[in-house]
Amino acid sequence: MPRALDAQTFGSIVVIGTFGAAEAAAAYLSAHPASELAWYLTLAVFRPFEYARADTSPLHVLFGPSSLPLAAACLVITLCLRVLRSRFGIAVVANSCFALTAALVYAWWTANGLSRSASLMPVASLQRPDLAVVALMMASSCLAFLASHLSFVAIILSDRRASRPSVSLPPTPSRMPVSAL
């Protein structure tokens, strides 16, 4: 079980940390608009978050001036739940991160027009840095999501095995005592 908790915590921390990094880059850009690094991070690396910040996105409520402290609080809560070994709490955080990552990936996918591509392999979209961010977030949140579900299934199966009455087999001639023959 500790491995499952570690996997769930790792996946959640990667997703929440990426969200925090994207918000930190956006805050840095608003404070220093002449910074080329801030522009590159905001518009190239963390581009999926820009699509989610649009007013038409259902995720735009997560972004704003209080998002960076919210990300830090979520990181602290996740780490506290791991220290307390709260399987249910970590599972809720992991599943929430998976749902938010899936919504973010959907917003990024539809905004890029990748679903309307005429070619079989959209090569230009596979060479951008935002794909690495999306792939990292999706892989880590999938890992956390699967670990949470598989650990709960394992607990349910072990409880069922423990509660099942043991069945004793009737004696066969090879196991009968000699006096009974």
In a domain, 173, yes or no: no
Asked whether residue 170 is assigned to any structural domain, the reply reads no
Q: pTM value? A: 0.75
Residue-wise pLDDT tens digits, 34-89:
989 989 988 888 888 887 777 777 777 777 777 888 889 999 999 999 999 988 99
With respect to residue 98, please indicate whether it lies within any of the assigned structural domains. yes
> Is 8 inside any structural domain?
yes
Range of the domain at 110: 2-114+123-154
Q: What is the pLDDT of residue 181?
A: 53
Cβ 23 vs Cβ 29: under 8 Å: no
Instruction: Please report whether residue 12 resides in a domain.
Output: yes
pLDDT band at 17 (very low <50, low <70, confident <90, very high): very high
Identify the CA nearest to 95 among candidates 22, 146, 48: 146
Q: Determine, yes or no, domain membership for 177.
A: no
d(CA 41, CA 27): 11
Nearest CA to 22 out of 100, 86, 85 is that of: 100
178 is a domain residue: no
* pLDDT attached to residue 177: 60
Number of domains in the chain: 1
Residue 180 falls inside a structural domain: no
Taking 80 as the threshold, does the pLDDT of residue 2 lie above it? Answer: no
Query: What pLDDT does 73 receive?
Result: 92
What is the C-alpha to C-alpha distance for residues 81 and 91, in angstroms, rounded to an integer? 10
